Structure 1
């Protein structure tokens, strides 16, 4: 019999304008791995807050089994900006104590290996601070862990590491996990139960995201014909899950016969031949060609020798670690970034639409009301053979009618993303580039977005850390590795393998160790030794930068020097030999240390 860890009984929570929960009863038992899904604003974070004790329900109660340790990662920033990274994670524990703990080393290696141990929290970016907060939680001993959007600011490797960590953190049938995330691959990989928060209730489903989709379709079929829109969308999503993702459908997470019966009359998600025919008709044969293109910022080559012929109708996903150059690549395609070498050739008929992370398309209309923006747009959009008006399209994207009178600047992040996508589609581009389109959106919005993109006849390029989205809407993937663009016939799994094989695979993002002691590095260094080595590497790199600059200066002085002044030239040559000798020694030491800490 399962043992309850935390139980919320008859919980009621309301705000002046909205009832969030009305007499909700839920429980977390030993061995539970629960994913929480639902539309933004329906109460997912409030539910975690009540169970975690940070929000007090107006009525009802939350009880914990005696001695249960409950750890929670909220979306608030609770770190002390003056504290260091190290102190925020391990506190005042002596180095030998935490460095001798394989579990602590694994978390540090998996999430923050790239961050300076002595850096102040206030000097870090928002994403880096988020990783420190997650690491600080995971190094603790907890019986129950609640995570609110833990995959935000993690790249694909970091997400894969976190999934593996949570799957192996507790022994079977022990510990409890409650996680809110819009990352559907993560839900499927980690969770054995799904709670849907909607209409003031919490509805449980068995299994991860794929099983939830099946059960929700069955629920909607039985409920009423008024749910037809939602049901058809979920049936299409189910068809993708059963037909389009072999790694996912091989898992016995739901009844295969029932799934096949539900989707027997659902056409394939996309008709690639028809879409390519339409794309060629709209674009011609020439889209954008990158020929040996390179981009340099200062002394750093961000992209090198990128050659890519983008074809009409191509649907490509771009993978890469944070800072690897993905947005720079989109800039080359869009024309906002100029190559330092090589060239970019654009077809005459290309009309590019870019959905960026900063909502720049909405800046000029920030003071306008949504209905005013729609009134200026006369274009219709065809989906599944039907012409939809802008208002109908926005409704299909889950935009409530009461928000039509709101000013654009007053919209939430998710609402802005809906409007941004709508205006992008209605501008009638024939090449769309999406830069992290899943930010600020829930799983319903993602499914609606993917449904629209399925019918879109053009060339599609997607940069995202959302593995599910990439596998769902693109037909091939490329990766940026060491500044070069590489095709991935094996998709995301091949990318993760290549990153693990790189000598220094996590320069800008957390390494992905295996379980056990691998987080401390193959060398077996203690945490203190590792930090000392990392500091020396950083010091060597700074010294090498200065020496390289001095070599350039000495060469120039020798060119400009009076060639008749033999003594002066000898001094310059002697200094040059000394600098070059020191450079060789430092580079050898750098290689030794790098081998130790990689």
Structure 2
């Protein structure tokens, strides 16, 4: 099949000294899954906006195939309806109609647009994150050839990110996605585009493949520079001594990609860092004793119920849970910014705590970047090394010239980076990070992780970014809604398994005791729920098999006997699914 969209010599500039994109030519094939990476402000969002036809280039041509069915969800996408239902489904579609469509049913159950408010909730008053999920759901319910997404994981929890990855893998739809979520990128992408210096470098595979390829590219560039220097030295020697004796040329061998990291040590020495942390912090860091924490609602919701939890020197803890489970509230309570409803919080006398919140209002907008950093401190020791304010700012992507940019002129991602630099300049020994990956590019995340690798302190992280949590944390705890802070020795994999079990138990919840009224009605409802679950699982299997059959039919175009066999199976499958959908509706009505 022809490419779905072609870009030919595309260029665009916004008045800066360099074009954002310069002579970019590329194409999207049917069923491609492309991850787009690059520095904040490097042109990722501009590239996909041009690709989706939302923005015109200054030069070059964008050529979509005729009849292309495409949807784009950008960070500016807004719901297009008064209610969640109208925004997602394109109108006030009744439940029995959208539930009969496998794709709509899967998307609505997977993304839960509107959250606990349901489909009939008004869009007015919803948060930006909730609106983004509605816009994403509205795109995913459509039958598309190409789906263009800009940071779709920003407002999803760990479960939501996993669901979206599985959904995109199961669809026969081309996908182009800008994302900083490295687990998501590595799971979904079959190709990676890196936007750098106005160009787009193309790589096969996802995040891991891109990192290997970039490391190999750096190695080859270093080798080329070394060869150039060697040639210069040889030329000087020849001028001084005359032509050297003829010798055979040495043979060079490019090692396998693993050789690039063969002599690289582990990211951190946990034992050594804990020992250093004890010297800096002592035995007591932060402790919650018989703590209860609630949030106002009707009725009030308990996040933590009479829990005793001790955070020690050198602990590296990740907190996970679904959106709304109370992770940020718990983090604020640990930091002492939110009072407990009951119990006691104890903080060690040597603790110097820094908290990276999701609020950017603490930045001095009237100052320049370097001034804003030096207002905190001019020098800092991190990982046993001294860093000047300018050097640390440069490490987080602020070049010498950019350090004189007014803070008020920075983008959201740049302000987030500045917030991190200022936080680290306080030289804390206890660090609380609330969704630190929001608005940060991959290179900045790598710099943050590199600094944390040698950081001798206590770390507590709330993040939906699975890669970051697994990379910097040695321990994971979860909030499952039962008032308990649950330790997960198996990390995020264990969390996802337990959540799956929790959802299954909820779907087939045990009925009230035999002494309760309306027991027979409860039993009937439980049986109906189990039947609905069984039907939905069977429909999902049929949907998967239908996709396989369409592929097999295309491959068997010249084999008449095989075509008839596959066609018969497809007809039987469609008939069975129609019967199941009718049964699902009957069970739902009952």
Instruction: Judge same fold: TM > 0.5, yes or no.
Output: yes
2:338 & 2:87 partners in 1: Cα distance?
38
Contact 1:523 1:596 in 2 (8 A): no
| 1:225 Cα deviation from its structure 2 partner | 8.1
Q: Which residue of 2 aligns with 1:543?
A: none
TM-score by length of 2: 0.77
| 1:32 Cα deviation from its structure 2 partner | 1.1
Contact 1:499 1:505 in 2 (8 A): no
SS of equivalent to 1:304 = strand
Q: Which residue of 1 aligns with 2:342?
A: 341
Is the deviation greater in 269-278 or in 298-307?
298-307
Q: Which residue of 1 aligns with 2:305?
A: 304
1:258 & 1:505 partners in 2: Cα distance?
48
2:484 & 2:157 partners in 1: Cα distance?
18
| 1:339 Cα deviation from its structure 2 partner | 1.6
Q: Which residue of 1 aligns with 2:533?
A: 522
| 1:92 Cα deviation from its structure 2 partner | 3.6
1:195 & 1:456 partners in 2: Cα distance?
32
SS of equivalent to 2:292 = strand
Matches within 5 A, 1:120-139: 120-139=122-141
| 1:39 Cα deviation from its structure 2 partner | 0.7
1:472 & 1:503 partners in 2: Cα distance?
27
2:317 & 2:209 partners in 1: Cα distance?
28
Q: Does 1:350 find its partner at 2:351?
A: yes
Q: Which residue of 2 aligns with 1:317?
A: 318
SS of equivalent to 1:439 = coil
2:225 & 2:471 partners in 1: Cα distance?
24
2:108 & 2:428 partners in 1: Cα distance?
44
Contact 1:317 1:477 in 2 (8 A): yes
Q: Which residue of 1 aligns with 2:219?
A: 221
Q: Tell me the alpha carbon deviations over residues 499-520 of structure 1, each in whole angstroms, 9 at most, x when there is no partner.
A: 122258999xxxxxxxxxx999
Q: Which residue of 2 aligns with 1:156?
A: 158
SS of equivalent to 2:20 = strand
Q: Taking structure 1 as reference, are residues 72 and 492 closer, same or farther at Cα in structure 2, changes over 3 Å only?
A: same
| 1:324 Cα deviation from its structure 2 partner | 1.1
Q: Taking structure 1 as reference, are residues 37 and 345 closer, same or farther at Cα in structure 2, changes over 3 Å only?
A: same
SS of equivalent to 2:40 = coil
| 1:109 Cα deviation from its structure 2 partner | 0.6
Contact 1:73 1:134 in 2 (8 A): yes
1:519 & 1:167 partners in 2: Cα distance?
27
1:13 & 1:407 partners in 2: Cα distance?
25
Contact 2:432 2:460 in 1 (8 A): yes
Q: Taking structure 1 as reference, are residues 386 and 289 closer, same or farther at Cα in structure 2, changes over 3 Å only?
A: closer
| 1:369 Cα deviation from its structure 2 partner | 2.2
2:223 & 2:375 partners in 1: Cα distance?
34
Q: Which residue of 2 aligns with 1:404?
A: 403
SS of equivalent to 1:121 = coil
2:131 & 2:422 partners in 1: Cα distance?
33
Gap runs ≥5 in structure 1: 229-255, 508-517, 526-594
Matches within 5 A, 1:352-501: 352-362=353-363, 365-382=364-381, 385-482=384-481, 483-501=483-501
2:354 & 2:46 partners in 1: Cα distance?
37
Contact 1:109 1:519 in 2 (8 A): no
Contact 2:216 2:257 in 1 (8 A): no
| 1:227 Cα deviation from its structure 2 partner | 11
Q: Which residue of 1 aligns with 2:46?
A: 46
SS of equivalent to 1:309 = strand
Q: Tell me the alpha carbon deviations over residues 390-432 of structure 1, each in whole angstroms, 9 at most, x when there is no partner.
A: 1101101111222222333332222222222122122121110
Q: Taking structure 1 as reference, are residues 287 and 94 closer, same or farther at Cα in structure 2, changes over 3 Å only?
A: closer
Contact 1:107 1:519 in 2 (8 A): no
Contact 1:108 1:519 in 2 (8 A): no
| 1:380 Cα deviation from its structure 2 partner | 3.0
| 1:208 Cα deviation from its structure 2 partner | 0.2
Contact 1:109 1:520 in 2 (8 A): no
SS of equivalent to 1:434 = strand
1:198 & 1:306 partners in 2: Cα distance?
49
Q: Taking structure 1 as reference, are residues 503 and 444 closer, same or farther at Cα in structure 2, changes over 3 Å only?
A: closer
| 1:164 Cα deviation from its structure 2 partner | 0.3
Query: Which of 268, 271, 278 is residue 270 of structure 1 equivalent to?
Result: 268
SS of equivalent to 1:493 = helix
SS of equivalent to 2:4 = strand
Q: Taking structure 1 as reference, are residues 328 and 375 closer, same or farther at Cα in structure 2, changes over 3 Å only?
A: closer
2:342 & 2:360 partners in 1: Cα distance?
30
Q: Taking structure 1 as reference, are residues 334 and 385 closer, same or farther at Cα in structure 2, changes over 3 Å only?
A: closer
| 1:267 Cα deviation from its structure 2 partner | 1.5
1:22 & 1:297 partners in 2: Cα distance?
51
2:93 & 2:64 partners in 1: Cα distance?
32
Q: Which residue of 1 aligns with 2:247?
A: none
Q: Tell me the alpha carbon deviations over residues 295-326 of structure 1, each in whole angstroms, 9 at most, x when there is no partner.
A: 12343322212221111101110001112111
Q: Taking structure 1 as reference, are residues 343 and 225 closer, same or farther at Cα in structure 2, changes over 3 Å only?
A: farther
| 1:366 Cα deviation from its structure 2 partner | 2.9
Q: Taking structure 1 as reference, are residues 78 and 373 closer, same or farther at Cα in structure 2, changes over 3 Å only?
A: closer
2:451 & 2:224 partners in 1: Cα distance?
21
Q: Taking structure 1 as reference, are residues 375 and 154 closer, same or farther at Cα in structure 2, changes over 3 Å only?
A: closer
Is the deviation greater in 429-438 or in 341-350?
341-350
Q: Taking structure 1 as reference, are residues 497 and 596 closer, same or farther at Cα in structure 2, changes over 3 Å only?
A: farther
SS of equivalent to 1:145 = strand
Aligned length: 484
SS of equivalent to 2:142 = coil
Contact 2:383 2:451 in 1 (8 A): no
Contact 1:288 1:346 in 2 (8 A): yes
1:51 & 1:415 partners in 2: Cα distance?
25
Comparing both chains, which one has the higher relative contact order based on Cα–Cα distances under 8 Å and sequence gaps of 6 or more? 1
Contact 1:293 1:303 in 2 (8 A): yes
Q: Tell me the alpha carbon deviations over residues 125-151 of structure 1, each in whole angstroms, 9 at most, x when there is no partner.
A: 111111111111011111111111111
Is the deviation greater in 291-300 or in 97-106?
291-300
